[in-house]
Amino acid sequence: MSERDYQHDADRPWIFRTYAGHSTAAKSNALYRSNLARGQTGLSIAFDLPTQTAYDSDHVLSRGEVGKVGVPVSHLGDMRTLFEGLPLEEMNTSMTINAPAAWLLALYVALADERGDDRKKLRGTTQNDIIKEYLSRGTYVFPPEPSMRLIADMVSWCYTEVPKWNPLNVCSYHLQEAGATPQQELAYALATACAVLDKVKAGGQVPDEDFPTVFGRISFFVNAGVRFVTELCKMRAFTDLWEEIGRERYGVTDEKALRFRYGVQVNSLGLTEQQPENNVYRILLEALAVTLSKRARCRALQLPAWNEAMGLPREWDQQWSLRLQQILAYETDLLEFEDLFDGSHVVDAKTSELKDGARAELARLDEMGGAVDSVPYMKESLVGAHVERILAIESGAQTVVGVNRYQETAESPLSAGEKMIETVDPMLEAGQVQALKDWRSSRDEAAAQTALTALQEAARSGENIMEPSITAAKAGVTTGEWGGALREVFGEYRGPTGVALTIETRGDEDIEKTRARVEKVSEALGRKLTYVLGKPGLDGHSNGAEQIASRARACGMEVVYEGIRFTPADIAAQAREANAHVVGLSILSGSHLDLVRDTIAELRKAGLENVPLIVGGIIPPEDERALKQMGVRRVYTPKDFKITSIMSDVVDTVEDAWLEKV
């Protein structure tokens, strides 16, 4: 075999991305310019939670959330600022947006029209995967059926109007973050893609002869964990199964349309607060999983920063992750070779095992009626799988270096000082709210209201939602107004929590011991120890809350957990109705100071000032001190991975608050 049979000139590398955006459109624009100047080749926009859930910055649920986990985009003016000086026709823009994806794409297209850019040259992706929002990430807005209609409208509109745009980026990333096994990640993502394609096919907006083109515009966004051999085989399985679905289910024969096109954000779930410098190695190994195999290599890659388990990364931290990609692509010879694993009996066998497991799960979902009808089953399965993962880490069966083994460490210079993470100026929210009010007061109000009326008429009639949304964007309609108009037509939705059945102790000695303590304290209290667990604000990352709720039930507590997206007043009302002995809050968005302060005030109004409050989330040490000064009894962060120990602390907290020691 000659060298040229297996080695060639270097392939073009994947798109280098960094998931970024915070504070304001102006600050995010400056960050994007800086990242592009350092060699980033595509934008990956992080939106704040109000934008992701179609609320304006001045909505009650937006308090404390504005600009925290991404950039607020409330109207066309914000979109202008966000892309100032950036050439839309030359950009490849990925937008992590789901329920309001039609609206954010409408703003983007409206900006392109305003600039005189050709819509047909716009390249990029809207995530737009609502099923995984119900299962894992929580930024859903509307019920499943109208949500699927909005996605189908976008898919049907984009392939002719913005043909280089990927209107749907099926996102298995958050499935793995929620505990999915590789087989579950494969099956649930592919089932979601099938549900959308079936909806498009049934909608009649796409002629049969154009369906292969639509199939070819579906892309995926996956996760890569640290078990990189299994993850590499998972990507080869994804590639094979997607082609199989295209040929057998949809009759697609075009080789180009059948390609599995995917981008990656490597695993954030496995990043640790303990010895965070180790995260650099984890990120590298995870990047190898999605780049080593040529036929299953990602089309775009974004890497988290080493310190994301502790807070918002700084610009330098993002640069460090970008440099890893550049070294891998340009300094190594990775891109010069044919697939390294073709013919490997180990890789072939593992890939086949994963495909068989995914096919079996896909068949089960089809029997249930498809992905939409299977949401409760999938949610419960993910919570159960995550329970198994957490128990394995707690028991030591699954090693996490620096967490449950090799915990001894020298002090890290990387973690020294108070500026190891980016912080958002709390005054920026007030400025954003004022700017929003100024925008509303300066627009043509009649034109905005006319556009909103037309939008609702389109929603009711079944007309494709995209052009009315673009018209609304040009008329100055805001994100919250777009969302509010469609909420009136479609209604709202509260997804399943998935925790109802995960209440057994599984014979765990520590759980049994804590359960005995709960029974003893409950007897002294005169009724079962009652724990109200709430997620205030817009943070939809519910994995931690679900695990706490499940373990609290396993320990014998009466648990009230109704899911995500409640106001502090809602949580106080739940505590009053349940006659709670303790209230717990889970907040991962960085809005803990505002939301805890408001919750304490609401508990006082409800006459519950004596009910102890505990808080968990990604909370820097200085904020932990501030929370305790407010009166919070206990604060937990990702380093507190032993959930049964937290449950024992809850019992202690209740004893201290309501009883003499029993």
**CB neighbourhood size of 467 (10 A):** 16
Question: 121: Cβ–Cβ under 8 A, 6 or more apart, which residues?
Answer: 89, 164
Alpha-carbon distance of 385 to 377, in angstroms, equals: 12
Burial of 109 (0-12, 13-18, 19+ CB in 10 A): buried
Length of the chain measured in residues: 662
Which residues on adjacent β-strands are paired with residue 560?
532
Q: Can you count the helices (H) and strands (E) in the chain?
A: 25, 15
The sign of the CA dihedral 240, 363, 130, 469 is: positive
Phi then psi for residue 330, to 5 deg, are -110, -25
Check 541, 561, 592, 594 and give the catalytic one: 541
What's the order of all strands across the beta sheet hosting 558-560? 558-560, 530-534, 582-587, 613-617, 634-636
Does the annotation count 649 as an active-site position? no
Query: In angstroms, what CA-CA distances link 617 with 311, 399, 417, 584?
Result: 10, 23, 21, 11
> Could you give the residue ranges of the DSSP H alpha helices within 271-374?
279-289, 315-330, 345-367
Does the annotation count 539 as an active-site position? yes
Does the annotation count 541 as an active-site position? yes
Check 48, 58, 508, 539 and give the catalytic one: 539
- Token pair 């039609």 is found at 102
Which residues on adjacent β-strands are paired with residue 2?
none
Of 240, 223, 242, the closest CA to residue 231 belongs to: 223
Query: In angstroms, what CA-CA distances link 238 with 190, 198, 201, 385, 537?
Result: 8, 19, 22, 20, 36
Whether the CB-CB separation of 603 and 583 falls below 8 Å is answered with: yes
Check 32, 159, 173, 250 and give the catalytic one: 173
Whether the CB-CB separation of 545 and 641 falls below 8 Å is answered with: no
Residue 44 Ramachandran class (φ > 0 left, ψ -120 to 50 alpha, else beta)? beta
Question: 624: Cβ–Cβ under 8 A, 6 or more apart, which residues?
Answer: 635, 637
Q: HSE-up of 91 (CA within 13 Å, CB side)?
A: 24
Q: HSE-up of 503 (CA within 13 Å, CB side)?
A: 8
Of 594, 586, 589, the closest CA to residue 627 belongs to: 594
Q: Would you give the DSSP letter of residue 27?
A: H
Does the annotation count 55 as an active-site position? no
Question: 373: Cβ–Cβ under 8 A, 6 or more apart, which residues?
Answer: none
Check 75, 174, 386, 592 and give the catalytic one: 174
Does the annotation count 173 as an active-site position? yes
Which residues on adjacent β-strands are paired with residue 614?
584, 634
Token reading at 362: 């896909």
Most distant CA pair in the chain: distance in Å? 82
Does the annotation count 493 as an active-site position? no
Burial of 274 (0-12, 13-18, 19+ CB in 10 A): middle
Check 474, 535, 581, 592 and give the catalytic one: 535
**Catalytic positions, written as ranges:** 19, 173-174, 535, 539, 541
